[in-house]
Amino acid sequence: MKHSPATLPLPRRFGNALRDNRPAIAALQWTFVVLYLVLLITPALFPDDDANTGALHTLGRFAEVLFWGVWWPGVILSVMLIGQFWCGLLCPDGTLTEFASRHGKGGKIPGWLRRPALPLATFAFITVFEYALQAHDTPRGTLLAVGTMTAFALACGAFLGRGKRVWCRYACPIGGLFSLLSRCAVLHFRVDRAAWDAAPRPIPKPVDCPALLDIRRLRSNEKCNMCGRCSDHRNAVALAWRKPGAEFAALHDGDARAWEAAGIVFVLIGLLYGALHWQHSPWHHSLLALGVSAVPAAFAAVLLPAIVLGSGTALLLAVASGGQRLTAIRLAYALIPLGGFGLFLGALEHALDILHDAGFTVAPLLPWLRAAVLLPATIWSTRAGCTILGKGSAARTSFGAGTAVLALTWQFAPQPLSA
């Protein structure tokens, strides 16, 4: 049944507006490409050690705070709350790779690139290197790390796919992380299979999904770029609300993947805690000082806390699930809100550190900021875990207690602001 546009729910109307306003969206996307390049390149032109202390240097620092304090946390939060609209509508790498793919060689996607764990594994690899070598601490290091990814996105578009986002679907390391975070979102493109199959003839042309998804079988936010191109297709696809955590609770057994659970526990929680928070600890510096050679010690200093916190989290899941493997895997997904907000905090704290270095009094804010972010995240993860566990009150209690302890490790994480 066709509805008049005015009676459609707001998200569905928004989805249709995305579908119908491609030129305006393209203009916005290219504006973001320019903004991204300015924010990335300006700090590298006027770094801290530069003798230049004039207006351009201040502009460079301002751009750095904007990048770490507004842009990056904003992207993380939006992916967690409303899905990967960032990727489909604004991400400069997505715009560039699709543009390159439209004018590129249109090659076939090699089998090795289709491995589902590849983006998250690449993300972990880059994070270890970036933080062990402290690349993100300098604007030029940030330019090298982030700019290299943009170069790969362009190359991927130039050689693979015809007007598609092969990079976003199969290779983007940040996309590997966002595939986890977007499971939390309260918006999704819902497909009504019955309406799809009963669509009246003539059947409309298939949707040109840039992420190469089988839209008819879409039931997860995992790889959906939320671009809106499939909105209302066959009168069966609609942007719609869902409960927070609904995707974890409804996860089919075949969709609860062991490698993804390991990624949540050891990368999203363990590695990102090690990289973003533990590096400020005096223990971290002692470990670095102990190293016979600086480089292996730097890697150990990032990896060790990741392994310790990751193993502790895996133990919590094993206890709460009563040793049942599938339940433990499903419970790992419930920890995505807490791990995601830990990452969000890490980005905000990096921006606070830059402001602190610039002479602003931000230290008193830190404990309150942590509490304000961690409290809702803990409640969200605990509720999601309890829904998965069902009625077993002992299991619920041990999961809730374990989640609270995990939250305290972020609340009392080492102080990032240098003395």
Q: Go through 49-69 and write b for each residue having 16 or more CB atoms within 10 A of its CB, e for each that does not.
A: eeeeeeeebeebbebbbbbbb
Q: How far apart (Å, rounded) are the C-alpha atoms in residues 58 and 362? A: 19
131-160 positions binding ligand SF4, by CB under 6 A: none
Query: In this complex, which beta carbon is closest to ligand SF4, that of residue 227 or of residue 320?
Result: 227
Residue 29 CB, nearest approach to ligand SF4 (Å): 14
Q: CB of 92: closest distance to ligand SF4 in angstroms?
A: 17
Cβ-based nearer residue to ligand SF4, 225 or 382: 225
Nearer to ligand SF4, 73 or 228 (CB): 228
State the Cα angle at 161 between 158 and 163, rounded to 5°. 80
Minimum CB distance to ligand SF4, residue 86 (Å) = 13
Q: Does 183 bind ligand SF4 (CB under 6 A)?
A: no
Binding mask of the shown chain, residues 291 to 330, with x at each position contacting ligand SF4 by CB under 6 A: ----------------------------------------
CB of 230 to ligand SF4, least distance (A): 3
C-alpha–C-alpha distance, residues 108 and 170, integer Å: 13
Q: Is residue 228 near ligand SF4 by the rule CB under 6 A?
A: yes
Mask of contacts with ligand SF4, 187-226, x by CB under 6 A? --x-----------------x-xxx-x-x--x-----xxx
Query: Per the structure block, which two tokens stand in for 318?
Result: 């094993």
Please, what is the minimum distance in Å from the beta carbon of residue 174 to ligand SF4?
A: 16
The one among 183, 188, 229, 396 contacting ligand SF4 by CB under 6 A:
229
**Measured from the CB atom, is 218 or 269 closer to ligand SF4?**
218
Instruction: Using alpha carbons, list the distances in angstroms from residue 131 to 46, 124, 126, 279.
Output: 22, 11, 8, 8
Residue with smaller CB distance to ligand SF4, 64 or 222? 222
393-402 as b/e, with b when 16 or more CB fall inside 10 Å? eebbebbbeb
Crossing angle of helices 294-320 and 118-132, rounded to 10°: 130
Alpha carbon separation from 9 to 4, 238, 240 (Å, rounded): 11, 9, 8
Least distance from ligand SF4 to the Cβ atom of residue 213, Å: 5
Helix, coil or strand: residue 51: coil
In the bound state with ligand SF4, the residue whose beta carbon lies nearer, of 224 and 309, is 224
Residues 317, 328: contact at Cβ < 8 Å?
yes
Which runs of E-coded beta strand occur in 229-280? 237-241
Size of the site for ligand SF4 (CB under 6 A): 16
Between 63 and 226, name the residue whose CB sits nearer to ligand SF4. Answer: 226
42: CB partners within 8 A, 6+ apart: 59, 60, 63
122, 173 Cβ separation under 8 angstroms: yes
Q: Is the CB of 213 or the CB of 352 nearer to ligand SF4? A: 213
- The overall longest dimension of the chain from CA atoms, in Å, is 72
Which lies closer to ligand SF4 via its Cβ, residue 87 or residue 251?
87
CB of 84 to ligand SF4, least distance (A): 8
Smallest gap from residue 295 Cβ to ligand SF4 (A): 41
Q: Which of 33, 230, 345, 407 binds ligand SF4 (CB under 6 A)?
A: 230
Q: Which of residues 33-92 bind ligand SF4 (CB under 6 A)?
A: 88
Q: What is the Cα 350 distance to its own chain's centre? A: 17
CB-based contact 118:177 (threshold 8 Å)? no
Of the two residues 213 and 335, which places its CB atom closer to ligand SF4 in the complex?
213
Q: Contact 350/416 with Cβ under 8 angstroms?
A: yes
Residues in the chain: 419
Question: Least distance to ligand SF4 from the beta carbon of 15, Å?
Answer: 8
| Among the listed residues 283, 325, 327, 322, the one whose alpha carbon sits nearest the alpha carbon of residue 305 | 283
25 is a site residue for ligand SF4 (CB under 6 A): no
What 8-state DSSP symbol labels residue 234? G
- Residues lying near ligand SF4 in the complex (CB under 6 A) are found at 88, 189, 207, 209-211, 213, 215, 218, 224-230
